[in-house]
């Protein structure tokens, strides 16, 4: 560990940007006086990049810390100064509450104009991205806290979303003694499966399979018509997307013979949707005895893009059919998946992805799966030392399939037992919410829920999520809903559909 700089930062005010990559990304919370430490950890391989990190040491420390996870393929320094995943916009930031906060770039820096997966050509850089960087930065941060305050932290927490959610589960599985509480939102746990399923879903939209924005709305309207009334509220939100996926049939939108247009789907487009919804199957077994990736669900297909994110158009389809090399107007799943095939699995930047065959790269897939797939259900050691885990899946997520996280949680229950799992872990599912928290109520203070569980023994039950206006200083609540423990869903009782009290959680 080498300290590059340490500067005392004066208290800063709340600021809200006009635009941002996510709703919470527009908010720079008010922070107190703190010491900002920038550092790096040198690599073993001189050709590998260093691991950069930032640690924020508040003047008034509460004895706790929060490590923030990253996103995508990382390559950007996570400062720990923003809001953690799902965090209400109007709550004091963890740093303002007295937590030491910190994050890392995971051991590489993304450069403008380069594919985000270039770093994966270096073995050490990729292993740092997989798990080593987060462990090394965690340990370096503990050493800094001890140096600054004269003692180690009393409790340590990890909060991450997407790739950061995978990192959180990685820490619970690989380093079960390091954290007391972990929150993993929309975790990309079956990483190898996601890259291949995302690529496959892109390949079927090349040419005639691509679906235009008007047809996306057609599909989303059909889903709402078929499923929205089931809970009794009839307010454009599918409350039980699992049941909806079972009953909704894309074939009902098939064009009549010889016809095409915005009011129906062609055979190629129906095949594309069925591919998205279907399971991706590998011809061999990957880490933890998995050989597939579950398909995506229904609802939220036309969620408006918030910056680059939202619904099918952002994650799956983009604004144009997939290109090689991936273009900026392609869907994010194609940009990530096709680039992953080239740089991570085939390790051939010039590969024509349409010619890629999984069987030809079995050894590399097994190697990557062992590094990246956070799918080990044996959390016995984490549970045994008092660790607490909360997983949150968004059911209108098209960046990764929420069914992967649901399946993982159920595998933990099978491994350890349902009653035993309930002692230390929770899975929540949020209907209508996309990957980054748009589309439906999604804000909830999971940090306080973890602290209460870890430090007071208060296990969380069903919670409440809110949708807030990104407008300071009030951040007014637009609507609220129950956040139900899996496998329950919000059921409408009576009253205003914008209030959580109008619903109950029911299986």
Show which residues are catalytic. Answer: 162, 397, 435
Q: Can the peptide bond before residue 270 be classed as cis, meaning omega within 30 degrees of 0? A: no
Residue of 207, 221, 294 whose CA lies nearest to 252: 221
Q: How far is CA 388 from CA 73, 159, 380, 384, 449, in A?
A: 26, 12, 11, 10, 10
| Per-residue 3-state assignment (H helix, E strand, C coil) for 151-195 | CCCCEEEEEEECHHHHHHHHHHHHCCCCCCEEEEECCCCCHHHHH
Task: Give every CB contact of residue 382 below 8 A, 6+ residues apart in sequence.
Answer: 172, 173, 176, 389, 424
Tell me the pairing of strands 27-28 and 34-41: unpaired
Helix axes 163-174, 133-149, angle to 10 degrees: 80
Largest CA distance in the chain: 77
C-alpha span between 246 and 298 (Å, rounded): 10
C-alpha span between 56 and 284 (Å, rounded): 45
Residue of 127, 275, 130 whose CA lies nearest to 200: 275
Contact 210, 240 (CB under 8 A): no
C-alpha span between 309 and 332 (Å, rounded): 9
Q: Can the peptide bond before residue 487 be classed as cis, meaning omega within 30 degrees of 0? A: yes
C-alpha span between 463 and 501 (Å, rounded): 12
Beta bridge partners of 31: 12
Contact 128, 135 (CB under 8 A): no
Contact 50, 41 (CB under 8 A): yes
C-alpha span between 332 and 318 (Å, rounded): 7
Give the H/E segment covering residue 247: helix 241-247
CA angle 411, 412, 418 (to 5 degrees): 105
CA angle 324, 279, 424 (to 5 degrees): 110
């Amino acid at each position: 560990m080498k300290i590059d700089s340490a500067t005392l930062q004066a208290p800063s005010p709340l600021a809200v940007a006009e635009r941002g990559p996510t709703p919470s990304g527009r908010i720079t919370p008010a922070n107190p006086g703190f010491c900002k430490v920038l550092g790096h950890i040198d690599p073993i391989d001189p050709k590998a990049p260093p691991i950069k990190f930032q640690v924020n040491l508040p003047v008034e420390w509460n004895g706790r810390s929060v490590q923030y996870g990253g996103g995508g393929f990382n390559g950007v320094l996570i400062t720990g100064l923003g809001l953690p995943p799902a965090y209400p916009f109007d709550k004091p930031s963890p740093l303002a509450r007295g937590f030491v906060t910190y994050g890392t770039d995971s051991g590489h820096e993304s450069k403008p104009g380069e594919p985000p997966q270039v770093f994966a050509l270096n073995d050490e850089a990729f292993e740092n991205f997989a798990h080593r960087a987060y462990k090394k930065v965690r340990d370096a941060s503990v050493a800094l806290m001890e140096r600054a305050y004269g003692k180690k932290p009393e409790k340590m927490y990890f909060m991450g979303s997407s790739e950061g959610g995978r990192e959180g589960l990685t820490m619970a599985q690989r380093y079960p003694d390091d954290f007391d509480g972990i929150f993993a939102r929309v975790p990309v746990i079956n990483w190898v499966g996601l890259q291949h399923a995302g690529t496959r879903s892109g390949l079927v939209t090349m040419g005639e399979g691509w679906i235009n924005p008007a047809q996306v709305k057609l599909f989303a309207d059909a889903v709402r018509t078929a499923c929205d009334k089931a809970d009794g509220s009839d307010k454009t939100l599918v409350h039980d997307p699992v049941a909806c996926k079972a009953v909704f049939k894309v074939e009902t939108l098939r064009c009549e013979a010889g016809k095409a247009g915005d009011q129906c789907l062609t055979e190629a487009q129906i095949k594309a949707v069925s591919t998205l919804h279907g399971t991706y199957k590998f011809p061999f077994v990957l880490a933890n005895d998995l050989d597939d990736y579950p398909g995506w669900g229904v609802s939220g297909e036309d969620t408006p893009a918030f910056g680059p994110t939202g619904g099918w158009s952002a994650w799956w389809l983009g604004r144009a059919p997939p290109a090689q090399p991936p273009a900026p107007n392609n869907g994010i799943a194609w940009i990530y998946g096709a680039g992953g095939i080239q740089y991570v699995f085939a390790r051939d930047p010039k590969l024509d992805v349409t010619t890629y065959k999984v069987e030809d790269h079995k050894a590399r897939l097994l190697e990557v799966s062992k590094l990246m797939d956070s799918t080990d259900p044996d959390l016995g050691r984490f549970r045994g030392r008092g660790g607490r885990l909360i997983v949150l899946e968004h059911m209108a997520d098209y960046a990764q399939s929420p069914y992967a996280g649901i399946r993982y949680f159920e595998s933990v229950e099978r491994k350890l037992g349902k009653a035993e799992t309930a002692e230390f872990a929770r899975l929540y599912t949020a209907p209508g919410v996309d990957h980054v928290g748009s589309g439906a109520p999604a804000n909830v203070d999971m940090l306080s829920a973890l602290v209460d569980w870890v430090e007071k023994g208060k296990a969380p039950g069903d919670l409440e999520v809110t949708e807030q206006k990104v407008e300071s200083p009030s951040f007014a609540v637009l609507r609220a809903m129950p956040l139900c423990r899996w496998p329950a869903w919000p059921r409408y009782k009576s009253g205003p559909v914008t209030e959580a009290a109008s619903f109950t959680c029911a299986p």
